[in-house]
Amino acid sequence: MNRSGLPVLILHTGDPNPSLTERFGGYADFMKAAAGLDDADVHVVPVFLGERPREARHYRAALITGSPANVTDRDAWGEETADWLCQAARDGLPMFGICYGHQLLAHALGGRVDYNPAGREIGTRQLELVADDPLLEGLPRAFPVQTMHEQTVVELPPGARVLARSAMDGCQLLRLAPHIVSTQFHPEFGVDFMREHLRQYAERYARENIDAGAVAGELRATPESAGLLRRFLQLYATDAALAA
């Protein structure tokens, strides 16, 4: 199927709280900026508000955002989106999921998601690559990433392969299919957003014995991970890639 000239679908699965969204934008905005896309390039579908995407043949790729929701909640919109993702995978649509999107893809393709036995992972953490992959070509074997999650992929879908891990999460970066990858970490998050999130949620994290001020003090830029979305689109969703 020739997908050249078609938009990139952003499956918008939720947003930060209103004050963070007002200051930094919503998660679809984060995704669009990190992928280097403008409004003319994308079709944003807020599935968490009940909207539904068109069939996969109408897009050249799909990006799935993070969300405050949990996959284990089995929200009707999440399960319907998982069904769409499963069909889109069969149709060969290139897809990239982040955090909730990473977990939802794994769930859709036959894996299992649950709370991370190691606890909540928050802040800048070191990513360790454990496999070679075209998406990771030229990157160092270890580099920093931004994390913000309490659920994780606890069982891989059939045929999936782990590409990278962190000390608290063994499934930080997955190759789910030749045209599908996903990250538990957030390549789209910057230090300023992370710092303000930690400030606003300091009391909540304190109840989990997490010192948000200390975590904020250890934040640093994550340029290696920030380029992954653009790299993915270059590999799988440019006119040249789609014609190959």
pLDDT at position 12 is 98
Q: Are 142 and 129 in contact (CB under 8 A)?
A: yes
Q: Give 8-44 pLDDT, tens digit per residue.
A: 999 999 999 999 999 999 999 999 999 999 999 999 9
Any idea which residue has 């992928």 for tokens? 35
Q: Looking at 12, 107, 179, 188, which residue is catalytic?
A: 188
Q: Looking at 12, 99, 121, 171, which residue is catalytic?
A: 99
Q: How open is the CA angle 123-214-191, to the nearest 5 degrees? A: 40
Band the pLDDT of 244: cuts 50, 70, 90. Answer: low
Q: Give 95-131 pLDDT, tens digit per residue.
A: 999 999 999 999 999 999 999 999 999 999 999 999 9
To the query of whether residue 188 is one of the catalytic residues in this protein, the response is yes
Q: Are 125 and 133 in contact (CB under 8 A)?
A: no
To the query of whether residue 186 is one of the catalytic residues in this protein, the response is yes
pTM above 0.75, yes or no: yes
To the query of whether residue 171 is one of the catalytic residues in this protein, the response is no
pLDDT at position 5 is 86
